[in-house]
Structures are given as C-alpha cells and as structure tokens.
C-alpha cells in the first residue's frame, strides 16, 4: 500500500534536539517542530518527592544530565508525568526545582519512558494527530549503531502506543548523506558537546570505523568567551568598573554574547585551502541567478558597486581600511559592542583542542584519556583509515560537515578539507585505489527551502527524501505496515533494515 504525502510524518532524533514535520511537498519543507531533546520531572510528580538519590538535580546541559530521572527504588514516573517542549520551558519559569534529563544524549535510548514522552508530545501535541484514527506513517531518524532490541522496542512503541499506519527507521548519518546526493562519504556531525564521525560506503555505515571526539559547539563558545575577556570595550560594557560582575556572572554574560554572535552569522572559518572569489567581469548568467534564488543579492551587489564608483579616493581608502579591520557592531543588552577578527577564532578548538587547556572553565563532562588530544581532522583521518583500502577513495570523495553549527557558520567543510590533505598524501604509493583528492559535499541549491540553512537540516531533508520514496512505493518492502506488524510483531522492523540482518 502507499500513503498520501500529506499524512507522512518525519521525526529526527538527535543527541540534543528533536525536529519533526507533517506532510511531504513538491518542494520539501524544513521542519515545523524543533525543541530540545529533554524532559522534565516535577519534584512532586512521584510519591517520594521525585528525588534522585535524595536530592533534585537540575541541568540545562545534556552532558551533565543523568541518563534517567527515575528513582533507584520506589515508584517510577509515567509518560504523563514528564514535561516536554514548551510545557517544560513554561514550568521552568515558575518552578526551578525540576529534574532535567536528556534521554538521547549518549547516542542511545537510555530511558524508554522519557523517549516515549518526547515522541508522544511530537505526534499528539505538536502535530495534532489522533491516536484512534491515526492514518500517518512515520519515518524516524535515529543515531547509528543501535541494537536490534532497540529497533524492535521503538517499533513496538510506535505501533502499540501511537497506532501509526506505517513505520520506518533511518540511521541519521545515512539520511544526512542522502541529502547531499551521495551514497558514499564521511559524515562529520558537530553537536553541542560531541562531534560524531561516520564513514559510509555505498549507503551502508562502516560501524567498525565510527568514532567521535568530545569537542563541540560548547567548547567553541567557551573558547571565544575566554578570548573576549581581553576585549576591554566589551568587558567595560558588560562589567563596568563602578559595578563589576563576579567571575561566574561575567562568564555567563560572555557566553550569552557569544551565542548571539555565532547564531547571527558573524563568524567565518579561515582556511588556508580556501580559493579566492573570482571578481565579476560584468557578465551575469540571469537564469542561474534565478534558479539559485539570488536575485536580491545580485541587485544589492550592483547598487553597492555603483555607490563605490561614486565615492572619492579617500572614502574608498577608508572603506578598505575598515574592511581590513573586519569590525562589526552588535546590539547586546542595550549596549553597542564592537567586535573584531577574534570572533572568527570561534571554531579553532575543533581543529586544535589543546587551546582549551588551562582555560578557567569547569567542564563536568566525562572524557576518555585520549579524547582531548584528537582534533577534528585527526578523528576523521583515523576513522577513514579503519575502512577497507579500496573503499577509501569513494569515502574521501564525499566529506559532509553537518550539525547545527553549519546553519550559521559557513566554510567549516572547506576548512576541514584543507587540514585533511596530509591524510591522503602518499607520494610513495601510487595505485588505482589511492585517494587523490577530498571533495566537500553540501545540500544542493535545488532544494530552495534549504538554501539558507547550510547543512544543519541535512538529517531532516534526508529523512524527507527517504520517506517520499519509501511510502510511495506500493510494491516495496522498505517500511513496516500494520499488517506486517500484526503478523510478525516488532521483529518485522529488522527485516526492513538490511544493515541489521
């Protein structure tokens, strides 16, 4: 059987974020639902007070959160006891003593009740589905490497608890690579406090070569906040001499500023391997501009060039000096703050984690002894080196850097590409299987809804593409129907996933 595109549901599960959308369109849409992948439990939700080991634990940070807020002994919380999404945000405003848990933060499902609470919130609160008459099939994008038992239990929850009309699981990195129109490559997913590296060959994840490094967006934020302490104009504005802030309060304000700066797109990633932009010679391919949706940018560029042409030589010299300084002014807490090139050092910890040593930052995340010594390029090189020799040239032919960071910060893929060159250079070995170059992948511009999102929504786009193919193929067996589930039970999802067989 096939389903109407308007009823298909896409749910993307990340370590720290949940995204979802209802319906498939001719022009695939970006997610309409997006919230933190966390749940909250009130102190009085359980008869023993909802305490964890005798005290309430509140954590906004997924890396510091317990995997489960269930008490070790005594009554356990039910799905209805948990607060999710806007419910949790509103509750935290009035009741700070709420236990926060991030059930997917470890790349697995650590608490099934919490996971069910999140999925239930998506389906019935955000997407307004009705359990009794649920005609929607669901494609669920999950982290890679989950066990068969996990797949079966997820399938059971969606059919027996949510009454879905059909169900399919897609491993998240595979969907991300699909979004970049490729079947082979290495996916570098930069998260909040971890970066996952996943080599894929011909549509199948090379699980033995998967790796991760405990450097992510959080470290970049801490590093730039550390650098901004040397900016006297910034520090005098946020912590004036007549009313100075203590060290902890100043750090919190700096992190808030940093968060605003990178999310507003004021950060670039310098790269030695980045090619220079070719100057416009006056010939414009109008058709290409229209297809790319860049009409407005072209008009503004033309107006700027005409204005510059009328400017005096002194004005042009001054403009060049200002451009060389690369100064910007941001509005923050009622202040106009001037920032310089230091903001472009935001991503440096990804490529050189040793910069984080000695910083006055308390990091509660558990780390393996070797994790902080691995830069992003070293982790990617190590991961690809563990794949089959004759597969590597195809894997290196598709470097996809994705994650929330890539939505606002451009150029990370090119910066990583230039730093990965030593990992394929081997002049003494020239064979047919020797990789000769690394190709950076991006979400194609022919997805108009995704032109301004970088590669940040690659997982959701890949799941949407897969759903359009899977649920419209009446003869295919790429999803579990209600009939399949009735006759075979939860194990039917294993038969629809070749990677698990």
Question: All domains of the chain, ordered by start, with CATH?
Answer: 5-175+451-500 (3.30.420.40), 185-215+364-450 (3.30.420.40), 217-267+325-356 (3.90.640)
Confidence of residue 326 (pLDDT cuts 50, 70, 90): confident
Query: CB–CB of 269/411 below 8 Å?
Result: yes
Q: What is the mean pLDDT of the chain?
A: 84
For 485, phi and psi rounded to 5 degrees?
-70, -35
Kindly state the tokens that stand for 448.
Answer: 């108009």
Please classify residue 149 by burial: count the beta carbons closer than 10 Å to its beta carbon, then call 0-12 exposed, 13-18 middle and 19+ buried: exposed
The pLDDT of residue 477 is above 60: yes
Q: What is the pLDDT of residue 62?
A: 73
Q: What is the DSSP letter of 6?
A: G
Residue 85 to residue 120: CA distance in whole angstroms? 11
Q: Three-state SS for 262?
A: helix
Q: What is the pLDDT of residue 276?
A: 32
DSSP string, 414-469: HHHHHHHGGGT--TT---TTS-----EE---TT-GGGTTSTTTTHHHHHHHHHHHH
pLDDT tens digits along 416-462: 999 998 888 665 666 677 777 899 999 999 999 999 999 999 999 99
Kindly state the tokens that stand for 415.
Answer: 């910066």
**Arithmetic mean of pLDDT, 315-329:** 71
Find the range with the poorest average confidence among 121-125, 201-205, 268-272: 268-272
**Arithmetic mean of pLDDT, 316-326:** 66
Q: What is the DSSP letter of 490?
A: G
Between 216 and 286, the more confident residue is 216
pLDDT tens digits along 140-191: 999 999 999 999 999 999 999 999 999 999 999 999 999 999 999 999 999 9
55: CB partners within 8 A, 6+ apart? none
**CB-hemisphere CA count at 13 Å for 84?**
27
Q: What is the pLDDT of residue 60?
A: 63
pLDDT tens digits along 110-126: 999 999 999 999 999 99
Kindly state the tokens that stand for 277.
Answer: 């932009």
For the ranges 122-126, 319-323, 366-370, 492-496, the maximum mean pLDDT occurs at 122-126
Residue 93 to residue 71: CA distance in whole angstroms? 24
Q: What is the pLDDT of residue 311?
A: 65
Confidence of residue 305 (pLDDT cuts 50, 70, 90): low
Q: What is the pTM of this model?
A: 0.85
DSSP string, 193-224: S-EEEEEEETTEE-GGG-EEES--HHHHHHHH
Whole-number percent of the chain with pLDDT over 70: 78
User: What are the b/e assignments for 322-342, b being 16+ CB within 10 Å?
Assistant: eeeeeeeebebeeeebebeee
Query: CB–CB of 497/151 below 8 Å?
Result: yes
Residue 446 to residue 485: CA distance in whole angstroms? 37
Whole-number percent of the chain with pLDDT over 90: 60
Residue 236 to residue 353: CA distance in whole angstroms? 29
Residue 145 to residue 104: CA distance in whole angstroms? 13
């Amino acid at each position: 059987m096939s389903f109407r595109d308007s009823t298909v549901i896409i749910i993307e599960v990340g370590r720290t974020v949940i995204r979802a959308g209802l319906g498939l369109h001719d022009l695939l849409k970006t997610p309409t639902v997006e919230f933190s992948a966390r749940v909250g439990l009130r102190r009085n939700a359980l008869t023993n007070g909802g305490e964890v080991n005798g005290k309430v634990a509140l954590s906004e940070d997924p890396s510091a959160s317990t995997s489960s807020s269930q008490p070790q002994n005594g009554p356990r919380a039910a799905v209805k006891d948990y607060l999710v999404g806007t419910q949790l945000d509103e509750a935290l405003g009035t009741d700070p003593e709420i236990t926060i848990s991030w059930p997917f933060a470890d790349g697995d499902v650590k608490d099934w009740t919490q996971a069910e609470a999140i999925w239930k919130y998506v389906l019935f609160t955000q997407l307004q589905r009705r359990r009794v008459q649920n005609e929607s099939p669901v494609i669920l994008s999950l982290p890679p490497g989950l066990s068969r038992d996990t797949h079966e239990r997820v399938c059971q929850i969606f059919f027996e608890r949510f009454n879905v009309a059909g169900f399919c699981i897609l491993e998240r990195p595979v969907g991300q690579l699909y979004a970049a129109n490729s079947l082979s490559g290495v996916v570098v997913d930069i998260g909040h406090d971890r970066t996952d590296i996943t080599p894929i060959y011909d549509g199948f994840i090379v699980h033995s070569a998967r790796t991760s490094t405990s450097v992510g967006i959080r470290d970049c934020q801490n590093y730039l906040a550390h650098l901004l302490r040397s900016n006297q104009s910034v520090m005098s504005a946020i912590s004036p001499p007549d009313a100075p802030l203590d060290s902890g309060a100043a750090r919190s304000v700096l992190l808030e500023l940093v968060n605003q700066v990178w999310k507003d797109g004021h950060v670039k990633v310098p790269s030695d391997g980045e090619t220079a932009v070719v100057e416009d010679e006056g010939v414009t391919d109008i058709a290409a501009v229209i297809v790319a949706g860049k009409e407005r940018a072209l008009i503004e560029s033309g107006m700027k060039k005409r204005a510059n042409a009328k400017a005096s030589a002194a004005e042009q010299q001054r403009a060049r000096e200002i451009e060389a300084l690369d100064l910007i002014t941001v509005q923050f807490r009622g202040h106009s703050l001037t920032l310089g090139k230091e903001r472009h050092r935001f991503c440096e910890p990804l490529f050189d984690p040793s910069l984080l040593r000695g910083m006055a930052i308390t990091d509660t995340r558990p780390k393996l002894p070797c994790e902080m010594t691995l830069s992003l390029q070293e982790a990617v090189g190590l991961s690809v080196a563990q794949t089959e020799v004759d597969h590597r040239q195809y894997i290196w032919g598709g470097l996809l850097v994705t994650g929330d960071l890539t939505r606002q910060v451009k150029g990370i893929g090119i910066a990583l590409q230039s730093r990965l060159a030593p990992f394929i250079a081997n002049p003494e070995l020239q064979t047919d299987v020797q990789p000769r170059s690394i190709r950076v992948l991006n979400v194609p511009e022919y997805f108009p809804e995704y032109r301004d999102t970088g590669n940040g929504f690659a997982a959701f786009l890949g799941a949407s593409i897969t759903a359009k193919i899977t649920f419209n193929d009446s003869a295919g067996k790429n999803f579990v129907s209600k009939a399949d589930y009735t006759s075979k039970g939860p194990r039917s999802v294993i038969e629809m996933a070749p990677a698990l067989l």
